[in-house]
Amino acid sequence: MPNKPISETNCCPKFDPTPWDGKTFGWQNKKFIKDKVFTLFYIPMNFGSVITKLNKKIENAGADVPDWLCLADDTSKWNMDIYLAVDKDIPGSENVQLSGKYFSKVYEGNFKDTGKWHKDFIDYLKSHDMEMKKMYTWYTTCPKCAKHYGKNYVVLVAQL
């Protein structure tokens, strides 16, 4: 991604789960660009090409991606909306802003456990009297980088 720190993989930086695990935070008009990914029974089919297209737009605009934050919203088993954080509006993109109170929890393991993580996350929110309006998934590294780092961190983010 543009202005990314040089990482040992020359791709995704190593993710630090500490700032995101069990944290409540607020966003006020946090900037994102939004796009769609085709999914086949919730499995992303063109995620890489969509991210590459968005990164090119961000690079051309001289923008940055704070925290490498990319939220996924599974709208159906055929579509995933993705929200890529940016530090300014990006021409030729669907620029959106998110505001509100959010809670995040970090999980680690194989992507096949995503369903278990979602259930655990919902149970956690309920047990702490937090009412979720919407849930996003943040896949913090690509599969190749997760393998390299030996950790596959996924962050679930709830708008409260």
**Buried-state track 133-152, b at ≥16 Cβ within 10 A, e below 16:** eebbbbbbbbeebbebbeeb
- From residue 151, give the alpha-carbon distance in Å to each of 69, 71, 81, 106: 17, 19, 25, 12
Quick one: pLDDT at residue 11? 84
Q: How many structural domains compose the chain?
A: 1
Quick one: pLDDT at residue 6? 55
Quick one: pLDDT at residue 142? 87
Residue range 29-40: mean pLDDT, rounded: 97
Q: Helices marked H in the chain — which ranges?
A: 47-60, 114-127, 143-149
Quick one: pLDDT at residue 3? 47
Q: Is residue 1 part of a domain?
A: no
Q: Give 1's pLDDT tier (boundaries 50, 70, 90).
A: very low
Segments forming the whole domain that contains residue 140? 23-159
pLDDT in tens, 68-77: 999 999 999 9
3-state helix, strand, coil in the chain (%, to 5): 25, 40, 35
Q: Is residue 11 part of a domain?
A: no
Q: Is residue 79 part of a domain?
A: yes
pLDDT in tens, 80-95: 999 999 999 999 999 9
Q: Is residue 4 part of a domain?
A: no
Q: Is residue 62 part of a domain?
A: yes
Q: Is residue 139 part of a domain?
A: yes
Please report where in the chains the tokens 């940055």 appear, as a residue. Answer: 64
Q: Is residue 96 part of a domain?
A: yes
- DSSP label at residue 106: E
Rg (CA), the chain: 15
Round the average pLDDT of the chain to a whole number and report it: 93
Which CATH number does the domain housing residue 141 bear?
Answer: 3.20.80.10
Q: Is residue 63 part of a domain?
A: yes
pLDDT in tens, 99-152: 999 999 999 999 889 999 999 999 999 999 999 999 999 999 988 999 999 999
